């Protein structure tokens, strides 16, 4: 009998296939004592396993490239964390086996992260995956992970670790469903990059029996269990219609009455550029530069290395717009040479621009490298700072850009509610705004973007968040300046229309979403988008806002 479940749709498309579950987690190793004479040997085993897992994660990252590479390299650093390894050595010295010492040391660290709130609690799934891989290697059992199958399937998991998501084979994994996670979790972002339909935060997903046929709608978040032939046909017809609309929609982004909406790509480095170009991106709206710094958490990359990487991206968009975000370190992206290790709540501490202003040499080197990378190129370079709180922050960043001789537009990201509320003041110092809706939602609702339990508050359709977007866009319009959105909200085709109706001037997203957004905008006039935006803001919940906007655009 057909039943319908609903989670959070995070990656467009429809997948119909049999359920396959993620490999089970490693069993808890037995707690047995070893002779003192064996301690050194066991410590060596532990270090070898840790190094092997870190190397495997790094290799997976090199294969995946782009956003996935940065995430996996961060996991590799987590595996080799010096404090964790010191704890493992201590536990072995008092009689634990290597596998038990790793298990217990990670459990202690896990408890600290789980109670830390905000970003750090969101790293628990990543930590569990690293632990499982190390323990599996020590026990000599298969690694937990994606099941082996010769036939295509829909993958079900409690959560997906970045190492698994990054290398999913889209010819076999038709789509995936997780019990946990949120719309801005690593798994969701990587799913969009792969173009695999995905639904997260679905309670009870693990109870779906192996081999059950389900249909996954990554746009609506609906899961149809044992769908009827009629439902399958309906979903397949809708998917075919969407595919035809995508193929028919080409060229620059615009509404049906010709209002131009530049559609830009979010990239994590040179590896993401080919997909952005293939999708018809009109430039880059968010170039995350963290990937360079995650290669070595103890040292900043040289100016020469930065110039080479930046120039590869800039050269890909001749006469296009490339918006670079300077290093956003801190919180879930700690760097030993930059970020303090003892902050009680790093997401609310020294991160983003605050970190860079504390280390002007790092900021200066990056800005100088960007200036040199852009020399002689016809690209329109724009550089923005993360986590700008007020006008003083904006001025400090603009002053640093000028001091580095940077010939570019300087901008500020709006990720903190204070920046949206005082956007006009900030625009006295910079030339554009870019809304990071993922963090803006997190800070507006005090809801960690990695925690599925609060996913309703991470929903970019929340009317309070739309109010902050409107405030920022109105301020930019009043100052004759631009205000784009580079958060994942821009990848929702319906919400994209609402954002334009709120006054946003450009949209930046993962490359796979660009065709969907282009086709959606082309169906409606600017006036229709404005009416949909007004209806969404008048609602009292995210679901009501989404339904109200859909009703307006459907002519209901």
* pLDDT tens for each residue of 142-169: 666 777 778 899 999 888 776 776 667 8
d(CA 17, CA 153): 5
For 468, residues 6+ apart whose C-beta sits below 8 A from its C-beta are 414, 417, 420, 421, 440, 444
12 an active-site residue?
no
Query: Cα–Cα distances in Å, from 502 out to 541, 551, 556?
Result: 17, 17, 21
The two tokens of residue 491 are: 């990848």
Q: Which of 12, 186, 401, 529 is catalytic?
A: 186
Question: What's the whole-number mean pLDDT along residues 373-392?
Answer: 96
Catalytic site residue from 401, 483, 486, 529: 486
Confidence of residue 8 (pLDDT cuts 50, 70, 90): confident
Residue 24 pLDDT greater than 70, yes or no: no
Q: Is the pLDDT of residue 26 over 70?
A: no
Cβ-proximal residues to 37 (8 Å cutoff; 6+ apart), any chain: none
Q: How is residue 96 annotated by DSSP?
A: B
Q: Rounded to 5 degrees, what are φ and ψ at 388?
A: -80, 130
**Would you tell me the crossing angle of helices 360-374 and 303-315 to the nearest 10 degrees?**
40
* Intra-chain end-to-end CA distance of the chain, in Å: 32
Q: Is pLDDT at 477 greater than 90 in this prediction? A: yes
Q: Decide if pLDDT at 120 tops 70.
A: no
pLDDT band at 252 (very low <50, low <70, confident <90, very high): very high
With cut-offs at 50, 70 and 90, classify the pLDDT of residue 435. Answer: very high
What are φ and ψ of residue 380, in 5° steps? Answer: -95, 95
* pLDDT in the model for residue 312: 94
Report the alpha-carbon distance of residue 549 to residue 556 in Å, rounded. 10
What is the spatial distance between Cα 384 and Cα 439, in angstroms, rounded to a whole number?
15
**pLDDT the model gives residue 62:** 76
Q: Are strands 8-11 and 198-200 parallel, antiparallel or unpaired?
A: antiparallel
Q: What pLDDT does 333 receive?
A: 66
Confidence of residue 118 (pLDDT cuts 50, 70, 90): very low
Place of tokens 């030339």: 431
Check residue 117 and give its pLDDT: 46
The pLDDT value recorded for residue 296 is 64
The larger pLDDT score, comparing residue 110 to residue 289, is at 289
Distance between CA 17 and CA 240 in Å, rounded? Answer: 17
Say which range, 119-128, 173-182, 264-273, has the weakest mean pLDDT. 119-128
The CB density around residue 306, as the number of other CB atoms within 10 Å, is 22
| Greater model confidence, 178 or 334 | 178
Q: What does the DSSP assignment read for 300-324?
A: PPPHHHHHHHHHHHHHTSTTSEEEE
CB 2 within 8 A of CB 126: no
**pLDDT tens digits, 210-243:** 899 999 999 889 999 999 999 999 988 888 877 7
**Mean model confidence pLDDT for the chain:** 88
Check: CB of residue 167 under 8 Å from CB of residue 60. Answer: yes
Backbone angles phi, psi at 398, to 5 degrees: -60, -40
Give the pLDDT of residue 123. 62
Q: In the predicted model, is pLDDT for residue 119 greater than 50?
A: no
Report the alpha-carbon distance of residue 223 to residue 310 in Å, rounded: 41
The closest of 265, 286, 201 to 10, measured between CA atoms, is: 201
**262-290 pLDDT per residue, tens:** 999 999 888 889 989 989 999 999 999 98
How far apart CA 411 and CA 382 sit, in angstroms, is 7
State the Cα–Cα distance between residues 440 and 464, nearest whole angstrom: 11
- Tokens describing residue 268: 């994590």
Q: Which of 50, 74, 290, 293 minimizes the C-alpha distance to 163?
A: 74
What is the predicted pLDDT for the residue at 451? Answer: 65
| Active-site residue, 477 included | no
Distant-in-sequence, close-in-space partners of 458: CB < 8 Å, separation ≥ 6: 182, 183, 184, 438, 441, 442, 445, 447, 449
DSSP assignment, residue 409? E
pLDDT of residue 505 exceeding 90, the answer is: yes
User: 311-366, pLDDT tens digit by residue?
Assistant: 999 999 988 999 999 999 876 666 777 777 677 777 788 889 999 999 999 999 99
Closest CA to 282 of 332, 320, 244: 320
The CA distance from 130 to 76, in Å, is 8
pLDDT score recorded for residue 170:
78
| Phi-psi region at 109: left, alpha or beta (left = phi > 0; alpha = psi -120 to 50) | alpha
pLDDT, tens digit (0-9, with 9 covering 90-100), for 52-94: 988 888 887 777 666 667 777 777 888 888 888 999 999 999 9
Per-residue b or e along 333-355, where b marks 16 or more CB atoms closer than 10 Å to that residue's CB = bbbeebbeeebeebbebbbbbbb
pTM: 0.71
């Amino acid at each position: 009998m057909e039943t319908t479940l609903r989670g959070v749709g995070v990656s467009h498309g429809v997948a119909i296939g049999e359920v396959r579950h993620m490999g089970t987690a490693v069993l808890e190793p037995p707690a047995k004592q070893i002779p003192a004479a064996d301690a050194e040997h066991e410590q060596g085993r532990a270090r070898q396993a840790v190094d092997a897992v870190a190397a495997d994660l790094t290799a997976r990252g090199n294969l995946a490239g782009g956003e996935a590479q940065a995430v996996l390299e961060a996991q590799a650093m987590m595996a080799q964390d010096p404090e964790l390894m010191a704890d493992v050595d201590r536990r072995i010295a008092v009689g634990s086996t290597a596998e038990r010492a790793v298990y217990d040391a990670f459990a202690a660290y896990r408890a600290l992260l789980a109670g830390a709130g905000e970003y750090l609690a969101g790293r628990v799934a990543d930590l569990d995956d690293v632990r499982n891989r190390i323990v599996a290697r020590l026990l000599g059992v298969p690694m937990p992970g994606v099941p082996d199958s010769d036939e295509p399937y829909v993958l079900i998991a409690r959560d997906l670790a970045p190492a698994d998501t990054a290398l999913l084979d889209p010819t076999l994994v038709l789509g995936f469903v997780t019990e946990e996670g949120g719309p801005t979790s690593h798994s969701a972002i990587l799913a969009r990059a792969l173009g695999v339909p995905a639904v997260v935060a679905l309670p009870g997903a693990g109870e779906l029996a192996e081999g059950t046929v389900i249909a996954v709608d990554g746009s609506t978040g609906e899961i149809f269990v044992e769908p009827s032939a009629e439902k399958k046909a309906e979903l397949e017809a809708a998917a075919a219609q969407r595919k035809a609309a995508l193929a028919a929609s080409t060229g620059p982004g615009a509404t049906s009455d010709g209002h131009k909406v530049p559609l830009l790509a979010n990239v994590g480095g040179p590896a993401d550029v080919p997909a952005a170009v293939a999708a018809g991106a009109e430039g880059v709206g968010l170039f995350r530069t963290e990937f360079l710094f995650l290669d070595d958490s103890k040292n900043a990359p040289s100016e020469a290395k930065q110039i080479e990487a930046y120039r590869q991206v800039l050269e890909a968009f001749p006469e296009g717009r490339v918006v670079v975000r300077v290093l956003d370190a801190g919180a879930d992206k700690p760097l030993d040479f930059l970020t303090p290790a003892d902050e009680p709540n790093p997401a609310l501490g020294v991160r983003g621009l605050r970190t860079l202003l504390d280390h002007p040499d790092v900021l200066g080197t990056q800005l100088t490298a960007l200036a040199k990378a852009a020399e002689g190129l016809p690209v329109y370079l724009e550089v923005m700072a993360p986590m700008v709180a007020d006008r003083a922050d904006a001025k400090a960043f603009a002053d640093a850009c000028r001091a580095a001789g940077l010939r570019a537009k300087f901008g500020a990201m709006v990720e903190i509610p204070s920046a949206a509320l005082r956007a006009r003041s900030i625009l006295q110092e910079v030339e554009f705004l870019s809304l990071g809706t993922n963090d803006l939602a997190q800070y507006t609702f005090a809801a960690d973007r990695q925690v599925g339990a609060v996913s309703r508050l991470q929903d970019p359709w929340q009317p309070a968040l739309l109010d902050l977007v409107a405030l920022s866009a109105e301020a930019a319009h009043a100052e004759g300046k631009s205000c784009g959105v580079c958060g994942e909200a821009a990848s929702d085709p319906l919400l994209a229309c609402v954002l334009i109706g709120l006054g946003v001037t450009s949209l930046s997203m993962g490359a796979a979403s660009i065709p969907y957004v282009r086709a959606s905008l082309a169906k409606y006039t600017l006036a229709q988008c404005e009416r949909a935006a007004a209806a969404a803001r008048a609602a009292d919940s995210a679901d009501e806002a989404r339904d109200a906007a859909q009703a307006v655009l459907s002519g209901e």
